[in-house]
Structure 1
Amino acid sequence: MKKALLSIACLGSVTAFAQKTDSVKTSSVEEVVLTASRKKENIKEVPSSITIVNEKQIQSQISVNSDISSILQYTVPSLGPSSGQTSNSGQTLRGRQVLVLIDGIPQSTPLRNGARDIRSIDPSVIERIEVIKGSSSIYGNGADGGIINYITKKNTSDKKITGVSQVGITGQPYGGTLGARASQFLAGKSGKFDYALSLAYERTGYMKDGDGVHLTPTYSPAKMDNYNGMLKIGFDINKNQRVEASYIGYASKSDLNLGLKTGKYGITPSIGEGIGQGLETTPQGTPRNHNFRLTYDNSQIFKNTSLNINAYSQDFRTVYGYSNTFLNGGQSNIISKKYGVRANFDTQIFNHQNAQLEVIYGADILNDQTVQKLEDGRYWTPDMNMTNIAPFALFKLDLFKKITIKGGLRYENMKVKVGDFNTLSSLKADGTFTQSIFVKGGDLEYNALVGNIGVRYNINNALNLFSSFSQSYSINELGRILRTSTESTISNLEAKPIIVNNYEFGATGQITKWLNYEVTSYVSTSKLGASFIQSADRAITIQRSPEVVYGVEGYLHFSPSKWVKFGGSYSWLEGITSLNNDGDYSAKINNSRISAPKILAYVQLQPTKALSVGLDMLHSFEQDRFTPNAKTGLYTYGEGYVPENTIFNFRSSYQINSNWKASLGIENLFNRTYQPAIAWWNARDTEFVNALGMRGTFMVEYKF
């Protein structure tokens, strides 16, 4: 079965489309990527599919919606659709979990995945977003589907001070929906010192659907205060050495005061009503996400060798809404603290005219302390303390300025200390509660050798071929397994890791000065994957079984003249599993991971040098992969039918002069009343919700 699917992936010949915006160049020759090899390199040297969302694209999308999960769904073909809420549940990459980084600092909480990692920074501070698609071990635990790395802004000028100021308002054609945002970026250089400072604030109003009805208060981004701050200070010791210290902080808190009126799945959406009836005692959101980083670079630590050391820490807490699924109800928090060091040596082995070889080697050390607790102090998961020490070595061989061969090995060595705890009594389908049990803690150990190998052959401008094999290694949602324990000791639990093998083949190129393309096919396999399913007692549990995920994606980008650009992307994937581990892959991975095929399309017009207008379209196809229960007629979690859907967004900007610019964006241009994909596949009354109706954003920017 796997051989057959791998053959399908290697054939991968489809006509496909990918979204670009007014900022896209007609050639990617000068594009560089930092994340793929932990160092800056030309994108034409990378033997895998990468999406880079640059600063102009980000700014253009901010004029429509500043929610970064929305920005990514319109710019990354193989990323699942946004929920439109504070949670990024279901927003998988190629059908698997994604590792989110900010300047290389991990934001994801794989020990207890809270689905708040994508929405962990304000987009105004981001210089570019690099999305590495396919399983990867290069940054450690959690990158089964790939990596999203938010790379923040830095100083790029020799002036003592430069800056960008932005103010804007948002609103819908209904009362009470007015919101506002403002951001300030300052940067400069004085002697050997340079700095970058950013502050951003956003206040959202009530959010309503296309009929002017309040959206559900569950995971709602309405009536929320969002804060973001960044400070970077760098010092050039000499021409070879540099140190840099940075802080990036994000916080979001909601004072939404709506009660929940539960609807009926597939018929009537759940909505917010009754101002003043909110159940939360603590504001929903992420009250803190503090990231500190200290970097040392030496381009000549010894002959032909450079050194990069990153020391970092993260302090994260997120708060969820009220839930009555456990005895006495309440709100829960996920609290995570990370401390880590990454050390990279980069040695040029030889550098001849037709052959260059370099080796990157070093080690990563990470300590991750995660727990999920209720506001009243009860533990939903035990304290989990993971230490990961991972030495690695990567090599890159360039031949004849056309062929690049890359490979590497990484040894994962993880130890997790689990504290003693009592499980919570949770609500069962018959209205009774399960019995709380005591679980004796202990130590869990994981280790594995994972690797990658890839080849890229740049035949000419019109045809570049790449093929790769890569692996990832992840501890599977340990917290969720532990909090639903039925065993009294850690040693009896099913907590084996996930190892994913990813195979990819693709082609990219620039056929003419005004047409470039990429098409990619892939297969990823795991001997013991993990999917969320609903148990007989309504609880969401984890199903462990062999898996295969495969798909295709690609883009076409046309720029026939200076004043018009258009194009789009297409992505499709499927996932199958062997429930009994008997080689029968007739069962399908549910829709919580396998999103519907989607088309992203755009047109960008610039009739004058100052004026730019664009239209984006997102079309999700119908997803009818499962049948409802024969007796009840109801779908189970993750298997709900998802209808097709098409949404248009409008964005525009006018460059008043060299300093001033105004922009106007309209989300859901035709004010459609519809439900996001998660509302359908969730197949639960409380989760059947409408999406945001038409909303406009007007912004003014001053650059100096």
Structure 2
Amino acid sequence: MKKVLLSVACLATVTAFAQEKDSLKIKNVDEVVLTASRKKESIKEIPSSVTIVGEKQVQSQLTVNSDITSILQYTVPSLATSSGQTSNTGQTLRGRQVLVLIDGIPQSTPLRNGARDLRSIDPSVIERIEVIKGASSIYGNGADGGIINYITRKSNSDKKISGISQVGITGQPYGGTLGFRASQLFSGQITKKFDYVASLAYERTGYMKDADGVYLSPTYSPAKMDNYNGMLKLGYNFNENQRIEASYIGYASRSDLNLGLRTGKYGISPTIGEGEGKNLETTPQGTPRNHNIKVSYDNKNIWKGTSLNVNLYMQDFRTVYGYSDTFFGGGQSNVISKKYGARANFDTQLWSAKNSQAEIIYGVDVLNDETVQKLEDGRYWTPDMDMTNIAPFMLVKIDLLKKITIKGGLRYENMKVNVGDFNTLSSIKNDGTFTQSIFVKGGDLEYNALVGNIGVRYNINPTINLFGSFSQAYSINELGRILRTSTSDTITNLETKPIIVNNYELGATGQIAKWINYEVTSYVSTSKLGATFIQSPDRALTIQRAPEVVYGVEGFLHFNPTKWINFGGSYSWIEGITSPKDDGDYSTKINNSRISAPKVLAYVQVKPIEKLSVGLDMLHAFGQDRFDPNVKTGLYVYGEGEVPEYTVFNFKSSYEVNNNWKVSLGIENVFNKMYQPAIAWWAARDADFTNSLGMRGTFMVEYKF
């Protein structure tokens, strides 16, 4: 452990990580954040590293690619690169799973992680994305690596009706790749007390091809897909202190891609799509439904010095995967999840003096999560899992002299999971033989723990602000996958203990000469019982439960020397080690399915004239050579393949015709680079060895009124 901490301290001198700014102005240090403490607070009061992807930045990236996993890989430092598929497998945050939220409603399915949570909303309705990096228990189960919260648009106009209309086309320099997207947003105030936001978005993607014009693999492909998104948000202000708001957000995606699959050879030839193939899938791939309903009530003064926020929410989610023949009879599977939750937050002012104050935030969270993975023919791949979590919490925040912020809190997790009886599927081994199906007796699993966090931020002066924190996360991630590979006839004999992550972070941020912003952060996260996919001798994937340590650094530099140009550069680095035998020997590395290669982001944005903005983004993923192939076969096992480096450039531009009209042009992979996503290499499987998207352009027209 001492060696780990020393390595992090040395690497903390690297000052590189950057993100594109929303405009040519330096980001305001007083920017408000909701996710970190479940209340509005200035970013300069948060004693940890936070990334905010603002509305202009989201819309700018949307010009290049509407896939939100791509938007995030270019804007969030320690998030792994995108696979370019509908699945976000391997796109971890600081080497661990992330909890995805929409306006605080959990989208992730940690009981059976289907890796479809990042692609659960259309970017056109996003006002900003708040990313809390490092283990967090603020929103409950699943935030081992942090939280990504999509904050949707709200009404900012005093008009009765205002709106944004967008129409765009996408295409590649090859035939048959044209796509189309359109979105319409309305917002306004019907009266001084009643406001609304309504939005509809639709996208039809075209065929997708690599840099040589060859069809990409149809497996988990976002090609030939219809994406729908609808939102309705209604708010009513009883008075200056009380507000009630109700919202519905619905998302759906459906693919009708019908290409044959030609499996390639790992490291030699890619797996591609070709011609019209056999349609083994009775149900189109995608996410047929993701319904989110929320009702919130705010009272800024429920009694003297105390405010109240209450949220009631529901999520109904179903996603469909492609055909698989890894089990007897083959078929398609679904992950189906329903969540019902309630949160009550009180915020009481303890004392207030000149330039100093103290407050306590306290309340309770209640969550019911029902998740199952079933085949289309009705067979269960996981049992029904019904989790109830009741978690009271408390957070104390002290601000001293407008320079020092101290935050500390506790949360008591009380989880109970009812697991139904089920029969495991008979699966196919590497040698072609079958494992026999067994009956597994279900029952109740109970988990209880007290987790906490504490942090300090010292804003010395504009040039340097220091922060340090300790935080914990508690989750029962991937319980379903553990259960579905059961070799015991009762769940009480399985290793289903939760993952408790301890996260330590130290960083500095500031502004130099009014035109240079920077941040550098180092972190260590530990867990006595982590969870990593590994490959068993028969090449089946199993979950390794073992002690582990993950550590890394990240940072950014942003330059804004004049009003017509800004630019910056970024770097993030991560390493992870584990002790499979739990003997204190941490010489084994956590595989590349969680530990991503170092990543550099760089950008430049120029306004040669007031109405024209031109920018170039660069993503450089370093090579990753952390494991050796099998001595006898010369093959890598899953998660350990050697990943070569690659560099990709994206071009984006916009021209404001007048106050109402704007046209935009974006080009992804502007130099038509031939490369493979990281997952194609580290997965080390023929079927996963695919090329990335070649050059593709997007032209959009926007009208505001």
Q: TM-score, normalised by structure 1?
A: 0.99
Once the two structures are TM-superposed, the CA of residue 10 in structure 1 deviates from its matched residue by 4.7
Once the two structures are TM-superposed, the CA of residue 276 in structure 1 deviates from its matched residue by 4.2
AA paired with 2:45?
A: E
2:104 aligns with 104
AA paired with 1:50?
A: V
1:139-538 equivalences under 5 Å are: 139-191=139-191, 192-538=193-539
Q: Deviations over 1:211-240 (max 9, x none)?
A: 000000000000000000000000111111
1:579 and 1:28 mapped to 2: Cα distance? 46
AA paired with 2:388?
A: T
SS at structure 2 position matched to 1:602: strand
1:45-64 equivalences under 5 Å are: 45-64=45-64
AA paired with 2:455?
A: G
SS at structure 2 position matched to 1:486: coil
Once the two structures are TM-superposed, the CA of residue 280 in structure 1 deviates from its matched residue by 1.3
CA contact (8 A) 1:334 1:370 kept: yes
2:93 and 2:213 mapped to 1: Cα distance? 33
1:17 and 1:325 mapped to 2: Cα distance? 41
Structure 2 unaligned regions, length at least 5: none
AA paired with 1:609?
A: E
1:22 and 1:319 mapped to 2: Cα distance? 35
Q: Deviations over 1:438-494 (max 9, x none)?
A: 000000000100000000000000000000000000103100001000000010011
Structure 1 unaligned regions, length at least 5: none
Once the two structures are TM-superposed, the CA of residue 591 in structure 1 deviates from its matched residue by 0.2
CA contact (8 A) 1:240 1:298 kept: yes
1:666 and 1:591 mapped to 2: Cα distance? 29
2:61 and 2:689 mapped to 1: Cα distance? 27
AA paired with 2:570?
A: S
Once the two structures are TM-superposed, the CA of residue 260 in structure 1 deviates from its matched residue by 0.9
Q: Deviations over 1:564-589 (max 9, x none)?
A: 11002100000000111111100000
1:5 aligns with 4
1:615 aligns with 616
SS at structure 2 position matched to 1:217: coil
Once the two structures are TM-superposed, the CA of residue 30 in structure 1 deviates from its matched residue by 2.7
AA paired with 2:656?
A: Q
AA paired with 1:661?
A: K
1:7 and 1:362 mapped to 2: Cα distance? 39
CA contact (8 A) 2:207 2:224 kept: yes
1:86 and 1:691 mapped to 2: Cα distance? 13
1:528 and 1:193 mapped to 2: Cα distance? 50
2:423 and 2:493 mapped to 1: Cα distance? 16
Q: TM-score, normalised by structure 2?
A: 0.99
1:238 and 1:606 mapped to 2: Cα distance? 43
1:482 and 1:17 mapped to 2: Cα distance? 40
SS at structure 2 position matched to 1:529: coil
SS at structure 1 position matched to 2:528: strand
SS at structure 2 position matched to 1:480: helix
AA paired with 2:69?
A: S
CA contact (8 A) 2:287 2:319 kept: yes
CA contact (8 A) 1:256 1:278 kept: no
Once the two structures are TM-superposed, the CA of residue 9 in structure 1 deviates from its matched residue by 3.5
2:551 aligns with 550
AA paired with 1:213?
A: V
Once the two structures are TM-superposed, the CA of residue 274 in structure 1 deviates from its matched residue by 2.1
Are residues 1:120 and 2:120 paired? Answer: yes
1:691 and 1:317 mapped to 2: Cα distance? 27
Count of aligned positions: 703
SS at structure 1 position matched to 2:671: coil
Are residues 1:129 and 2:137 paired? Answer: no
The percent identity for this pair of structures is 79
CA contact (8 A) 2:24 2:563 kept: no
CA contact (8 A) 2:21 2:27 kept: no
SS at structure 1 position matched to 2:608: coil
1:79 aligns with 79
2:277 and 2:628 mapped to 1: Cα distance? 40
CA contact (8 A) 2:168 2:700 kept: yes
SS at structure 1 position matched to 2:592: coil
Once the two structures are TM-superposed, the CA of residue 28 in structure 1 deviates from its matched residue by 2.6
CA contact (8 A) 2:24 2:564 kept: no
2:455 and 2:13 mapped to 1: Cα distance? 20
SS at structure 1 position matched to 2:555: strand
CA contact (8 A) 1:45 1:456 kept: yes
Which range moves more in the overlay, 3-12 or 263-272? 3-12
1:130 and 1:606 mapped to 2: Cα distance? 27
CA contact (8 A) 1:22 1:604 kept: no
Which range moves more in the overlay, 511-520 or 6-15? 6-15
1:22 and 1:55 mapped to 2: Cα distance? 7
Once the two structures are TM-superposed, the CA of residue 266 in structure 1 deviates from its matched residue by 0.2
1:62 and 1:277 mapped to 2: Cα distance? 34
SS at structure 2 position matched to 1:61: helix
CA contact (8 A) 1:9 1:504 kept: no
Q: Deviations over 1:274-328 (max 9, x none)?
A: 2143321100000000000000000000110000000000000000000000001
Once the two structures are TM-superposed, the CA of residue 7 in structure 1 deviates from its matched residue by 4.3
CA contact (8 A) 2:24 2:560 kept: no
Once the two structures are TM-superposed, the CA of residue 194 in structure 1 deviates from its matched residue by 0.4
AA paired with 1:126?
A: I
CA change 1:250–1:307 in 2 (3 A) is same
1:187 and 1:121 mapped to 2: Cα distance? 19
1:512 and 1:700 mapped to 2: Cα distance? 38
SS at structure 1 position matched to 2:382: coil
AA paired with 1:408?
A: G
2:180 and 2:443 mapped to 1: Cα distance? 49
1:177 and 1:277 mapped to 2: Cα distance? 21
SS at structure 2 position matched to 1:56: helix
SS at structure 2 position matched to 1:482: helix
2:353 and 2:27 mapped to 1: Cα distance? 27
